[in-house]
Amino acid sequence: MPTAVHRFRESHGLSTWTQRTVLSLLTWAIIFVLGVLSFLQVLRLSSNIRSQLSKHEWTYVDDDFPEYLPLDLGPARWTMQDTVHYGINGSDADEEWESSFPRGEGFIYLGPDKRRFGLSTFHQMHCLQMIRGALTSENIGRHTTHCLTYLRLMILCRADLQLEPASDTGDWTDVEWVRERECKDWGQLYEWIGGNYDEYVASQKA
């Protein structure tokens, strides 16, 4: 008789453990499925938004134009470091700074009427040029002041969150900024802008 009771208890205990295990597995399975479905829903909504944006035909008249140039730039790994190039003065420096601009000086032409737009990237580059010129001039005009303001606001707008190890001196010159970063592939941007400018020039000759 004790053996039968023992067997009953063992059988009953095994059954309870099995039920709990099955319920636990089912719970996790449901959570997993719901998570996958939620993820797929987010992807579907994002896809729909992109599809709707891509289907919109901008007229480029008045305010009917996209906020950003719809150009998908892939990432590019880049190790930043000091350089002897792009100096403040000298003929070599002049040529190097001029090479910072693509054909068309960074302006692009969009829409059927080839409306002219500037890209923020090259507005910032232009402002660096102006500040560079001001450093070798006794007169700092309104244009240079505008450029300082513009660059300050663009820095705040981008809000780069990459950590840069710093010493205890509290001096920005001792910050380790020479390190690899993930950037946008600006080579693709230069190539696209150059092609856009060539199309604009060709359209003016037609």
Q: What is the pLDDT of residues 23-48, one digit of tens each?
A: 556 655 566 555 555 555 545 544 54
In a domain, 102, yes or no: yes
pLDDT digits (tens, 9 = 90+) for 139-154: 778 888 888 888 888 8
Amino acid in the structure at residue 77: R
In a domain, 68, yes or no: no
Question: Element (H or E) spanning 79, and its range?
Answer: strand 75-79
In a domain, 35, yes or no: yes
From residue 7, how far is each of 14, 16, 19, 96, 152 by CA, in Å?
10, 14, 18, 89, 80
In a domain, 176, yes or no: yes
Strand, coil or helix: what is 117? strand
Same-domain status, 80 and 137: yes
Amino acid in the structure at residue 47: S
Same-domain status, 174 and 127: yes
pTM for the full model? Answer: 0.62
Same-domain status, 146 and 184: yes
Q: Give the C-alpha separation, 127 to 131, whole Å.
A: 6
In a domain, 64, yes or no: no
Kindly give the parts of the chain with pLDDT less than 70.
1-55, 167-168, 170, 172-173
Question: Element (H or E) spanning 108, and its range?
Answer: strand 107-110
Q: Which of 181, 179, 174 is nearest to 158 (CA)?
A: 181
Sign of CA dihedral 159, 165, 171, 172: negative
Domain span including residue 27 = 1-56
In a domain, 89, yes or no: yes
